[in-house]
Amino acid sequence: DTGVSQDPRHKITKRGQNVTFRCDPISEHNRLYWYRQTLGQGPEFLTYFQNEAQLEKSRLLSDRFSAERPKGSFSTLEIQRTEQGDSAMYLCASSFNHNEQFFGPGTRLTVL
Amino acid sequence: KNEVEQSPQNLTAQEGEFITINCSYSVGISALHWLQQHPGGGIVSLFMLSSGKKKHGRLIATINIQEKHSSLHITASHPRDSAVYICAVPHSNYQLIWGAGTKLIIKP
């Protein structure tokens, strides 16, 4: 499968724990995006990378959130000291420049 | 007024019917995306188009840049087409402005 992959697909954690998600984009894509989607809502932009550079972060991304793309390929999104309000689907997408974005299956986070 | 508006919000139809979902936008764009999301699932990109028409299987997308309007059509609809269909337009160099989505239910 040469599409965007995300791991894990589901994560259940207790409030206060740290979690890390991984996204592997389509290999020739230089851009990688993270979105968050809560039930019944559309996706909200969190951050994006052009190669290894994080070029934009949404105000939604509090200090507890950090994203990296160290080698310009896969990316990780870490949430520290999780809160119940962090429960959502975390979506990753990739594109070549500003062309069509292709989405991964998402990681569903549940914070108890 | 939202920058991207979709209609209808909800659509229920019988299997085999021809489906049309509309999207209007107020910003200048270079292209428009149509995406599909199944319940509890990830998002699948269906089309990205900047002019005219694109067809993929039973799905057809059209866009009129002058009128700032796009439509997504499904021919010979099937229950497996039941999903939320979203149109989105680029904002700045990287973000997408998302429509609210159209929830489609196809009954057998």
Would an 8 Å CB–CB cutoff place A103 in contact with chain B?
yes
Percent of chain A with pLDDT over 70: 98
CA-CA distance, A92 to A7, in Å (whole number)?
10
CA-CA distance, B102 to A88, in Å (whole number)?
20
Nearest to A67 by CA among A34, A24, A111: A34
Instruction: Report residue B93's pLDDT band, with 50, 70 and 90 as the boundaries.
Output: low
Q: Which residue of B has its CA nearest to A109?
A: B40
Give me the pLDDT at residue B12, please: 97
Q: Which residues lie closer than 8 Å to B98 by C-beta, 6 or more apart?
A: A42, A43, B4, B86, B87, B88
Q: Cβ B94–A48 below 8 Å, yes or no?
A: yes
If you average pLDDT over residues A68-72, what whole number do you get? Answer: 91
Show residues of chain B in contact with A69, CB under 8 Å.
none
Six-digit token string for A69: 């793309």
- To the nearest whole angstrom, how far is the Cα of B15 from the nearest Cα of chain A? 25
B 63-102 → A contacts, CB under 8 A: 86, 90, 93-96, 98-101
Q: What share of chain A is helix, strand, coil (3-state, %, to 5)?
A: 5, 50, 45
